[in-house]
Amino acid sequence: MKAFTLIIFLFFLSSCSRSQILLEELVLKENIYFQKGTSMPYDGEAISKFDNGRISNKISIKNGIPEGPWTAYGFDGEVVQCGKYVPFKNKELTVNGVKSIRRLNVCEVKEGQNSYTDIFVVVADQLKVPNNPKELKNTLIKLLKMKGYNFENKQVNQVKLVAGELEFQ
C-alpha cells in the first residue's frame, strides 16, 4: 500500500511540475505555440540562452499562449527586464480596420525604475500597418479597460501587430 501511495504521489508531483524547453523548440501554428513534433499546445517555460550558455529569457506559456511572468537577463545573469503577460482571449474581432484579431496580450514591463505596457495584437491574417495607429492604440486601451484590465497609470509604450507574442524575441 505504501508503494502504491508513493507511486501516486510521484505521478501527481510530476504532472504538476512545468516543463522547460528552449524557445527555438517551439513552433507557431495558427497563433498558438507548440513544441516541435507535437499536436498539443505547449504548457511550461520557454527559455533562450546566450552563447555563454546562460539564460537570456524565460517565459511562461499556458495552453500555447504566453501568460504569466517573464524575465530577460543580461549577459552576466542580472535581471534587465521583467514583467508578465496578461492575455485577453476572445473570438476573432475587428478593431479600427485591423481584422481577425485572435487575442490581445498585455505585456507589463519593468526595466530598472521604469514601468510601461506593450499591447500585442495577435492577428490571424497578414500583418498590415493600421491606417491610424494612435486611434487603434486608444481604442484597444478602452477595450481592455472594459474587459477589466487596470493599467494602474502605466504608460502604454507601443501596440504591436504580431502572429505570436514571442516572434520579436
pTM of the model: 0.76
SS3 71: strand
SS3 126: coil
pLDDT confidence of residue 16: 43
Give the whole-angstrom CA distance, residue 98 versus residue 74.
35
∠ CA 64-73-127, nearest 5°, is 45
The pLDDT profile of the chain, 169 residues, written as one tens digit per residue, is 554 333 433 333 333 445 799 999 999 888 899 999 999 999 999 999 999 999 999 999 999 999 999 999 999 999 999 999 999 877 777 787 777 788 889 999 988 888 899 998 888 765 666 667 888 888 888 888 888 888 876 789 888 888 888 765 4
Other beta carbons within 10 angstroms of residue 90's beta carbon come to 12
Q: What is the mean pLDDT of the chain?
A: 82
Give the whole-angstrom CA distance, residue 164 versus residue 54.
25
